[in-house]
Amino acid sequence: MSQSRAAIILAAGQGTRMKSKTVKVLHHVGGRAMLDWTVDLARQCEADTIVTVYGAHSPAVKDAAEALGTATALQDPPLGTGHAVLAAREALAGQDGQAIILYADTPLITPDTVAKVFAALDEGAAIAVLGFEPEDPAAYGRLILAPDGTLDRIVEYKDADEDERAVRLVNSGVLAAPAPLLLDLLDEVGNDNANGEYYLTDVVGLARARGLTARVVTASAEEVLGVNSRADLAEAEAAFQARKRTAMMAAGVSLIAPDTVFFAHDTQSAADVVIEPHVVFGSGVRIETDAVIRAFSRLEGVTIGAGAEVGPHAQLSAGMDVAPGVSAGKTGKA
């Protein structure tokens, strides 16, 4: 990495469709709050500065973000995504490198994908946008390409005409640009649109008007899944579990019935471990080689030693580690 990076995490949404007293971005996927996922993503992408933008309705987000070590910025009142990014201006003071906009309700984006977004900037684009092609483009903003394949503009669905709505390449919301340019362009954004909001997406057209180049980087629809409801949360959890199961099997772990095993974000396992059906892992589990986890067990906060056997029907929690070669029953006792 040749220059500094900043990440602005947008977390000011109301989340009313969750029907929950818990703020949306503090709901869990893989046993970890979605906000935590996004902060970790920013760190894995070597962001020097991380700013979480929160709303007046959610002081819990401010507290959680600061506990994770990020700066925070208040967006009040909420006047759109462009306005949200500008709320972080003070926290970005002195940043002259690249900046990326991430979302605290989009927990499945990988560091490799973000690296491709930054690579587009390194290769000469002034702005890089992460796009995808969902089965149903629905009300997503459309990415309108120029004849040369660069990005011409982003049109919000409510403002799109019939031809623009027919475009299947849509906007994930993730956008990167040099920080000074991003803030400069946002100062030019107006709110003459169907929602009366200041759209972050307008910076693409403004950059093009200056003769600058914008490019699209694509990801799978699953990776950029945004969570707005309990159904979305379940879909994100299912996608995480599928990804984790695949990674475990690729690393040499035998899953007898993969779809019945549920991992946490930090579950660790050596090769040659066997996990039987209907096993659930809470956070903080490490399994050493040749161990067997029998069916209908739940483990959290424990280390299972090499060659150990756990269960069936075991319930193990912190302080109930199993030594190498030991067979542990329902309570963790040999």
DSSP-assigned letter for residue 333: -
Look at residue 143 and tell me if it is in a domain: yes
pLDDT of residue 333: 58
pLDDT of residue 252: 98
- Could you give the count of Cα atoms lying within 13 Å of 291 in the half-sphere of its Cβ? 24
161 and 17 both lie in a single domain: yes
193 and 151 both lie in a single domain: yes
126 and 16 both lie in a single domain: yes
298 and 194 both lie in a single domain: no
43 and 139 both lie in a single domain: yes
Mean pLDDT by 10 residues, the chain (334 residues): 88 93 97 98 96 96 98 95 96 94 98 98 97 92 96 92 95 97 96 88 95 98 95 98 98 98 98 98 98 98 98 96 91 56
Residues 151-183: pLDDT tens digits?
A: 999 998 988 999 999 999 999 999 999 999 999
CATH number, domain at 307?
A: 2.160.10.10
pLDDT of residue 193: 83
Write down the pTM of the prediction: 0.94
pLDDT of residue 114: 98
Look at residue 243 and tell me if it is in a domain: no
140, two tokens: 């997503």
Q: Report which secondary-structure segment, H or E, holds 32.
A: strand 32-33
List the domain range (segments joined by +) for residue 167: 5-218
What DSSP string runs through 194-237?
TT----TTHHHHHHHHTT--EEEEE--TTTTPPP-SHHHHHHHH
Give CA 45 to chain center in angstroms.
Answer: 12
CATH number, domain at 46?
A: 3.90.550.10
Look at residue 26 and tell me if it is in a domain: yes
37 and 95 both lie in a single domain: yes
Question: Is residue 105 within 8 Å of residue 224, measured between CB atoms?
Answer: no
Question: Is residue 168 within 8 Å of residue 154, measured between CB atoms?
Answer: no
DSSP-assigned letter for residue 262: B
Residues 179-227: pLDDT tens digits?
A: 999 999 999 999 988 888 999 999 999 999 999 999 999 999 999 999 9
Question: Is residue 333 within 8 Å of residue 314, measured between CB atoms?
Answer: no
pLDDT of residue 195: 84
61 and 198 both lie in a single domain: yes
209 and 301 both lie in a single domain: no
**Count of H-run helices and E-run strands, the chain:** 8, 22
Look at residue 67 and tell me if it is in a domain: yes
Look at residue 245 and tell me if it is in a domain: no
119 and 266 both lie in a single domain: no
Look at residue 280 and tell me if it is in a domain: yes
Burial (CB count <10 Å: 0-12, 13-18, 19+), residue 243 = middle
163 and 299 both lie in a single domain: no
| CB atoms near residue 309 (< 10 Å) | 20
Number of independent structural domains in the chain: 2
159 and 41 both lie in a single domain: yes
